[in-house]
Amino acid sequence: MSAYTGTGQLLRLAWRRDRLLIPVTVATLTALSVGSAQATMALYPTDQAAVEGLGGILSNPAVSAMYGPVVVNRGGLSVFKTVMLGAVFLGILTHALVRRHTRVEEEEGRFELIGAGVVGRRAPLTAAVVLALLTSIVTAALSVAGLAALGLAPAGSVAFGVTWLIAGVVMTGVAALAAQLTTSARAASGLGLGTLGAIFLVRAVGDTQANAGVLSWISPLGWVGQVRPYGANRLWVLALALALLAGCLGVAFALLQRRDLGSGLLPARPGRATAAASLRSPLALAWRVDRATILGWSVTYAVLAVVVGNLVKSIADMADQPQVAEMLRKLGGTAGLLTDIYFATELRFCAAGGAAAGIVLAVRLATEERVGRTEPLLAAAVSRPRLYVARLLLALALPTLLMTVVGLVAGLVAAAADVAGPSPLELTLAAWATLPAVWLLIGVGFAAYGLGQRWTAPVGWAALTVALVLGEFGPLLELPGWLVGLSPLDHLSQLPGGSFAAGPAIAMTVLAAVLAAGGAAAFRSRDIG
């Protein structure tokens, strides 16, 4: 038996477990790239129109920090928003796939059962890596085909696919290495996603500082921008990502051969012998477990708010361009000034991210149950409703905090730019107006958890994906109104600039409460595990 015996069977098993997650996510990313390019091409039919229409935005350093370098022609401008952001999303997906089928499986004890059969030592890690790479290749290929079908240059479309493939390849290697260095799935997630955040920050500095361009080549995410699709089309940059993948896998396999099952190179930090007095309630325990996640999301949203606020001056300068105004109105409504519509559009995207943060906490509650940490809590003086409500309150409070940060910080940055638009208070209130839709999506996740922990992730993420695609891209894709109306994001008030729609907000809040209560009732009566 070789070290890779059983790889094929484990690969099929991994695909079966992710047969819903992978197709939905791949389809969403493809729709993001093709739909965004189609909308931009419809607004700007020629290179000259595209350069004139987007020139004001491209001169803003905040754009370079968020999206990376931009190729100034119609093809490059059609994809400049999705090159970097799509690469980050694909990197997160591949990291999650490798982590799930390596460190999570090992932590939950399934690797020990698999290893007792005719399975080589390297087979599980190899299967996880192959699944992540195939997912990256399929996603990139579908986007290439979609962009080419729109009439964009085939060579540039292939280069666009390479940008996403670089991120998928890099994060596959990082996740494989993180799974060997750490002793828990949470630590592997922190190390892998922390690395992604660090290389994004280094890349942002390199892309915004004229004398720091070398940083763009040091960061693997900087390689994404250096491909320059529809410009230089540097396909050879993919070789750097493949070399990094080979190095990470070489170290990962070496560690895998030498470490004990269930351990990692970085030892787990021992906890205190006795719990602190502040951990005497389920809510305090939930905060202690999730505080790093809350801090990470908060910092991310603060940075995002600065970027959103910085872009408002460029949007105000484009007020006389009817094509830009029409696109923003399709996304953010028709109420108020163009800056109001711009903020409404951005707040809708931020609301979707806030819902994702809440669903992350719901999925973590399911993970706690799956790995056996829920039963000891319930064996003590903790009831099921208290445990459920504690996590629910934290999941609802996190997006409330995030939207407050976005509204306040973006409002202050925009006010400093001295542009006509909403005040920081008005923008904060507009951000709060999105919360009923956010709470409704989180309620779906917790209702799914009440039915069974295994339903939490697929149902929660599927609900968010459908709501995001229908609510945000449905108008651009000219989908039927009744279909777009299925998304909670389509029923948000047109704020800032418009009036608060109390009816839909109350209805979504009540529905969220009903779903949460139903999940609590189901959780109280079902078996654990």
Q: What is the DSSP string of 105-126?
A: HHHTTHHHHHHTSS--TTHHHH
Res 201: pLDDT: 83
Distance CA 380, CA 376 (A): 7
CB 403 within 8 A of CB 495: no
Res 55: pLDDT: 58
Res 478: pLDDT: 66
Q: For residue 499, what are the contacts with CB-CB under 8 A and spacing of at least 6?
A: 335, 493
Residue numbers in the chain where pLDDT is lower than 50: 332
Exposed / middle / buried, residue 16 (Cβ in 10 Å: 0-12, 13-18, 19+): exposed
Distance CA 142, CA 431 (A): 35
Q: What is the CA radius of gyration of the chain?
A: 23
* Main-chain dihedrals φ then ψ at residue 385, nearest 5 degrees: -60, -40
Q: Which stretches of 433-501 are DSSP H helices?
A: 435-451, 456-468, 474-477, 481-484
Q: How far is CA 30 from CA 92, 146, 156, 207, 225, in A?
A: 15, 8, 16, 26, 19
- pLDDT by residue (tens digit) across 310-369? 777 766 655 555 555 555 555 545 555 667 777 887 888 889 889 999 998 998 888 888
Res 121: pLDDT: 85
Q: In the chain, what is the straight-line distance between the N-terminal and C-terminal CA atoms, in Å?
A: 35
Res 223: pLDDT: 92
CA 142 to chain CA mean position, Å: 20
Res 59: pLDDT: 59
pTM metric for this prediction: 0.79
CB 144 within 8 A of CB 160: yes
